[in-house]
Amino acid sequence: MKIFLKTYGCQMNERDSEAISAQLIRAGHSITGSEADADVMLFNTCSVRDAAERKAKGKISYMKKMKLRNPALIIGAMGCMAQRLGESLLAEIPHLDFVLGTGQLHRLIPLLEEFSARRKRFAAVEPSSDVLEGMGAHLYGNFSAQIAITRGCNRFCSYCIVPYVRGREISRSMEDILSEARSLVAQGTKEILLLGQNVAAYGLGGNVNPPPEDHSPFADLIEALDGIPGLLRLRYTSPYVTYFNRRLIEALAHSRTACRHIHLPLQSGSDRMLKAMNRQYTRESYLGYVERLRSAMPDLTFSTDVIVGFPGETEEDFRATREVMQHVGFEQAYVFKYSPRPGAKSATIADSVPEAVKEERNQILLADLADRIARKLAAAVGSTVEVLTEGVSARNPGRWTGRTSGNIVVHFEPVPGLEAGTLRQVKITRAGAVTLFGTLI
């Protein structure tokens, strides 16, 4: 069968979709980029904010037209929203053929083949977060590849639906991850991105409390990956700040491959809000981690996630967030307007901050960020940076792009024989709004 697969949501979902595509191809199916061509349309959905659900639902509902034209077309919803809504999604969208939750993704191929033969609508959403099967399949050939090292989350931040739709946290074995990494590198991968809702909790057995200072299986994993010849760079997302103990900071500082960039979700700079969010740190302790990380690795860059308009957020709380962001000097930030998620704890309190105030706070943080990035990029003009080359720029076919270890995108003119996935030095000549421009040396 020809399968069209559309993915919403985070990198975890993208990775799941990649693994599913690889499995489908192995089972003799093919993946098509054309909706009109498809025998099967799969939607890998996200539930993290209401807007994410509306987007996927809107698209699936719209598929009714295609189904009228081609009644044999099979339409399936998978992933986080499928997990959250289950049967009710079948009731809501009559032309939807099946719903497959995150805990049942490994059963996609047999269930799809069975559906194709019998045409009996179903919802398979039993949460089984102990299943790690199928997480390792890849579409090879990219210089950059992702490896999921954990599944699920045990943190239960009060606003967040992820622990409910992805299940309890479970870690894959170090041997599995290493053999996956070795085979990727053997197929040409130069950069690996380790994925998990809380990657730094890797191997801690799902314990919610951060480990003692000298224990970090995640650090052991980084050191082991460092030993793979041919691997040039290692990235990871997202770590929860309180897991950066002495052992992990030292391992990162001494690592050959670990990049000098950390995505360190802050969520809020107000202690009152952090407490209401069930985040296990304070403004002061968060800044303490940043300081320890910076003193071990002075060239680190940071990015973050922030939520504005959490219930009860006052001007003063918001100001605290703004200050912490300025203080850390994040090179990148994703700002989200609070969205109550039915099932998550905070949904039981009123969504009290008006939409207009959320939007205003969002705009203020984005403006701060744009100013800060412009200043940081301007300061880089004249310096020489090392980039991992990625290929032709999506915006300008006459240019190539690469990324610094600190995750800054750099554009440059190609030279004959230039290959993707190589480390090159670039002299920075000009700063754009969010990227740098330079010349290869």
Q: Which residues bind ligand SF4 (CB under 6 A)?
A: 153, 155-157, 160, 162-163, 197-198, 240
| Residue 12 binds which entry of ligand SF4, ligand SAH, ligand F3S, none, CB below 5-8 Å type-dependent | ligand F3S
Residue 46 touches ligand F3S, criterion: CB under 6 A = yes
DSSP 140: -
| Residue 177 binds which entry of ligand SF4, ligand SAH, ligand F3S, none, CB below 5-8 Å type-dependent | none
Smallest separation, CB 283 to ligand SAH (Å): 16
In the chain, % helix, strand, coil (3-state, to 5) comes to 40, 20, 40
Closest to 9 (Cα-Cα) out of 62, 77, 79, 75: 79
Smallest separation, CB 201 to ligand SF4 (Å): 9
Other C-beta atoms within 10 Å of 103: how many? 21
| Residue 163 binds which entry of ligand SAH, ligand F3S, ligand SF4, none, CB below 5-8 Å type-dependent | ligand SF4
Contact 323, 271 (CB under 8 A): no
DSSP codes of every residue in 385-417? EEEEEEEE-SS-TT-EEEEETT--EEEE---TT
Residue 273 touches ligand F3S, criterion: CB under 6 A = no
Q: Considering only residues 48, 52, 274, 320, which one is a binding residue for ligand SAH as defined by CB under 6 A? A: 48
127/168 Cα distance (integer angstroms): 9
Per-residue x/- marks for ligand SAH, 391-430, CB under 6 A? Answer: ----------------------------------------
| Residue 47 binds which entry of ligand SF4, ligand SAH, ligand F3S, none, CB below 5-8 Å type-dependent | ligand F3S
Q: How many helices (H) and strands (E) does the chain have?
A: 14, 19
| Residue 9 binds which entry of ligand F3S, ligand SAH, ligand SF4, none, CB below 5-8 Å type-dependent | ligand F3S
Q: Specify the amino acid at residue 184.
A: L
Q: Considering only residues 270, 321, 339, 405, which one is a binding residue for ligand SAH as defined by CB under 6 A? A: 339
Residue 166 touches ligand F3S, criterion: CB under 6 A = yes
For 111, the enclosing helix (H) or strand (E) is helix 108-118
Q: What is the 3-state secondary structure (H, E, C) of 145-160?
A: EEEECEECCCCCCCCC
Smallest separation, CB 62 to ligand SAH (Å): 25
DSSP 299: T
Contact 79, 102 (CB under 8 A): yes
Partners of residue 410 on adjacent β-strands: 402, 436
Residue 336 touches ligand SAH, criterion: CB under 6 A = yes
156/272 Cα distance (integer angstroms): 17
Smallest separation, CB 105 to ligand SF4 (Å): 18
| Residue 46 binds which entry of ligand SAH, ligand SF4, ligand F3S, none, CB below 5-8 Å type-dependent | ligand F3S
| Residue 165 binds which entry of ligand SAH, ligand SF4, ligand F3S, none, CB below 5-8 Å type-dependent | ligand F3S
Q: Considering only residues 75, 112, 145, 165, which one is a binding residue for ligand F3S as defined by CB under 6 A? A: 165
290/297 Cα distance (integer angstroms): 10
**Length of the chain in residues, anyone?**
441
174 vs 77, 213, 225, 245, CA distance in Å? 32, 21, 10, 20
Per-residue x/- marks for ligand SAH, 144-183, CB under 6 A? Answer: ---------------xx-x---------------------
Contact residues toward ligand SAH (CB under 6 A) are 48-49, 159-160, 162, 197, 238, 265, 267, 305, 307, 336, 338-339, 341
Contact residues toward ligand F3S (CB under 6 A) are 9-10, 12-13, 46-48, 80, 161-162, 165-166
